[in-house]
Structure 1
Amino acid sequence: MEIIEKAPAKINLGLDVLYKRDDGYHELEMIMSSVDLADRLILSPLPTDEIIIKTNSGFLPTDRKNNIYQTIEIMRDAYQFKSGVEVQLVKNIPVAAGLGGGSSDAAATFRGLNRLFDLNATKQEMVDLSIPVGTDVPYCIHGQTSLVKGLGEIVLPLTQNMPSCWVVLVKPKLSISTPKVFAKLAVDDVYHPNIHALKNAIEAEDYHEMTQHLGNSLESYTMTKYPVVAEIKQKMLDFGADAAVMSGSGPTVLALCQKHSRALRVANSLKGFCKEVYVVRTLKS
């Protein structure tokens, strides 16, 4: 028996860093959604207690450093199943790109194990177990347009999904460490997007108003240190994107376009500039 799960990329339409907490972490408020660029996981039980991860990506560890491996250990400890698990991971989401690929893989593993072993875990139970794996995993388990708070563990699905549109994703040839970005961030000096105006626009299904409120507090640091990220964002706008914003801590920048022809124009304008360019659609829940 095998179970197949998709692990969609997440995007940040809005990311506000509110303040630095006493524990050293940062309090966040975000609007997150998902697109149809996705990894694919095939999970199957093993007669031994081994955990085996096979992947087409040479960039990923396949031991305890891997989010999938950690998730299997957490679920096996919580639900006391004895079987080992093999996971075949087809990686399509760029690594260390601000698109939550590793977190979405972990979320898909939670869902897949729940089905594979008939664990009857609720979504909230999986969310509670997922927090040590990564702060984006709770959102990825929910997987619909949501207001996300705290470190990422508070996920409040919106009454409407993000209005349907085309999304152009462009990742320059660099990887960015999220912890390093937060460590260097001067919270008092960053831009604070209006997350609640963005939420209201999405729930009103007002595409134009939504595009007016995209924003990311982390852009100031990342774009100063890596000017190519700012250059990509400006090129997207110059070639007709309705809006553009950096996703997560970067380096991927996303552009929104209502028309497919416009999305293709934006994408084609950047293909000579970056190799990793994707034209994708927003996902419904």
Structure 2
Amino acid sequence: MQVFEKAPAKINLTLDVLSKRPDGYHEVEMIMTTVDLADRLGFTELDEDKIEIISDSKYVPNDKRNLAYRAAALFKKTYQIKKGIRITIDKYIPVSAGLAGGSSDAAATLRALNQLWSLNIPASELADIGVQIGSDVAFCVYNSTAVVRGRGEIITELSAPPACWVVLAKPSIGVSTPTVFQDLNLADIKHPNTELMISSIEADDYQLMTQHLGNVLEQVTFAHHQEVAQIKDRLKNSGADAVLMSGSGPTVYGLTRHQSRAKRMYNSLRGFCQEVFIVRMLGYDKT
């Protein structure tokens, strides 16, 4: 028995940090959506009670460091499944990019094992498992557009955002998310307007959406990594309607409604940035 599952990348349309929580995490409020850049995962049942990870990428660990491995282990433990699973991961989403590639793989694993073993577990319950694996996993379970609050566990789904092209650019550096949050000065934040972003999505208003992108972590990542700020400037100067860093970075994206302009934005980054993609806003998994 074998099933296949897509794991789309996510981008932040907004990312706000409201306060530091007693548990050491930060209280966040953000709007996230998906784009049609996706990892592809295959799942094969094994008679032996073990978890195998096979990947075409040297950057993907095949042990407990892998979020898909952890998702499978937690799923099997939660529902007392004594069978094994082999997970093959065809990696298309850049790693350590602020695009939730690992989290999306974990979410795809939860959805696939639910299907493989015919358990009919509701998405909300899978999301509860996902929270135990990583902050973005619960959102990724839904493959949609949503307001995400708390530390990632409170999810309110929205309509798909206005259709447009998205040019993603990831420089060849890594960013430490814990360090970015640690260096964030909560007293010096210009908060994005989450409610206006919600309104723009629900009204399918592309112009309004581009006016209200916002990510409070940009200032911290830009201070540590000047090349991330330079990518943002290049995308702006090449005609993007709006530009934002996703998550804690380092990936930056630009939006446009015109394919020809998307190509111009893409070309402006050639030679400057190794990993550049032209994709479509997805908002929910059409497949």
Task: Decide: shared fold, TM above 0.5.
Answer: yes
Instruction: State the shift of 1:284 in Å.
Output: 4.2
Structure 2 equivalent of residue 24 of structure 1: 24
Structure 1 equivalent of residue 184 of structure 2: 185
Instruction: State the shift of 1:190 in Å.
Output: 2.3
Inter-partner Cα distance in structure 2 for 1:44 and 1:225: 43
1:61-80 pair list within 5 angstroms: 61-80=61-80
Inter-partner Cα distance in structure 2 for 1:28 and 1:143: 19
For 1:200, the aligned partner's letter is S
Aligned Cα RMSD in Å? Answer: 0.8
Kindly provide the CA deviation profile for residues 6-60 of structure 1, in whole angstroms up to 9, marking residues without a partner as x.
0000000100111111222111010100000000000010010111000011112
Inter-partner Cα distance in structure 1 for 2:261 and 2:175: 29
Instruction: State the shift of 1:65 in Å.
Output: 1.2
Instruction: State the shift of 1:268 in Å.
Output: 0.6
Structure 2 equivalent of residue 52 of structure 1: 52
1:146-185 pair list within 5 angstroms: 146-158=146-158, 160-185=159-184
1:1-285 pair list within 5 angstroms: 1-158=1-158, 160-285=159-284
Tell me which stretches of 4 or more aligned residues in structure 1 moved more than 3 Å: none
What SS does structure 1 have at the residue aligned with 2:243? strand
Query: Contact conserved, 2:33 with 2:283, CA < 8 A, in 1?
Result: no
Inter-partner Cα distance in structure 2 for 1:23 and 1:137: 19
For 2:254, the aligned partner's letter is A
Inter-partner Cα distance in structure 2 for 1:234 and 1:118: 49
What SS does structure 2 have at the residue aligned with 1:198? helix
Query: Contact conserved, 1:169 with 1:252, CA < 8 A, in 2?
Result: yes
Kindly provide the CA deviation profile for residues 84-129 of structure 1, in whole angstroms up to 9, marking residues without a partner as x.
0000000000000000000000000000000111111111110111
* Alignment TM-score, normalising by the size of structure 2: 0.97
Inter-partner Cα distance in structure 1 for 2:78 and 2:133: 14
What is the aligned length?
284
Q: What is the percentage of aligned positions where both structures have the same residue?
A: 51
What SS does structure 2 have at the residue aligned with 1:269? helix
* Alignment TM-score, normalising by the size of structure 1: 0.98
Q: Which moved more, 1:204-213 or 1:72-81?
A: 72-81
Inter-partner Cα distance in structure 1 for 2:47 and 2:55: 21
Query: Contact conserved, 2:242 with 2:254, CA < 8 A, in 1?
Result: yes
Query: Contact conserved, 1:191 with 1:220, CA < 8 A, in 2?
Result: no
For 1:116, the aligned partner's letter is L
Query: Contact conserved, 1:30 with 1:147, CA < 8 A, in 2?
Result: yes
**5+ long unaligned stretches in structure 1:** none
